[in-house]
Amino acid sequence: MKKLLLLDADVVIDLHTLGLFDRINKGFEIHITKTILDEASYFKRGGARIKIDIRDRVTVIENVAVEHLQTVRKEAKEARLGIDPGEMEAIACLMQEDEGLIFCTCDQAAIKLLAFMNLEERSVSTEKALRTTGYQKKNLYPRHWEKTFTECIREGKALRILLKKLTET
């Protein structure tokens, strides 16, 4: 059984730009939220704007509980992190969906928020996800690197220690 991977819009767009979406789609059962499907509508290659049409190749999560969205919004505000609607919806999905669902994002604020919310075990860098499919090339963007991801997790944990402690006293 394939692992369940919830992709962020930036990752969907970048994987198309790099020609790697099919590879990740073969290695994982891909999920995206409705908002992310709308956000990831095209990518650019060689100056051309190319439409992304993946609805029939992924599972689209249509309904996200309002209370989970409110929790993510509150946590983002507490952590002083600006989170886009797609990432907010995806993180809310982690709160309501099967524990086998892993969020793959390269957005630094979203990665920090995952750690702030103690959800870092339910996330993965783009590089690490690709490595599990056997991909070993070095043509990824710095935002995809495991090193960048790990640093954001560390910063999110530090925010959790600092800010959660401040709000509890």
Query: According to the model, what pLDDT value does residue 169 have?
Result: 43
The average confidence (pLDDT) of the chain is 93
Domain boundaries, the chain: 3-168
**Mean pLDDT to the nearest integer, 109-125:** 96
Q: What are the residues whose beta carbons fall under 8 Å from the beta carbon of 63, sequence distance 6 or more?
A: none
Angle at 35 between CA 132 and CA 150, to 5 degrees: 40
Please give the share of the chain, as a percent, with pLDDT higher than 70: 96
What pLDDT, in 10s, does the model give residues 57-68? 999 999 999 999
Answer yes or no: CATH 3.40.50.300 is held by domain 3-168.
no
Over 80: is that where the pLDDT of 97 sits?
Answer: no
Interval 137-151: pLDDT, tens: 888 999 999 999 999
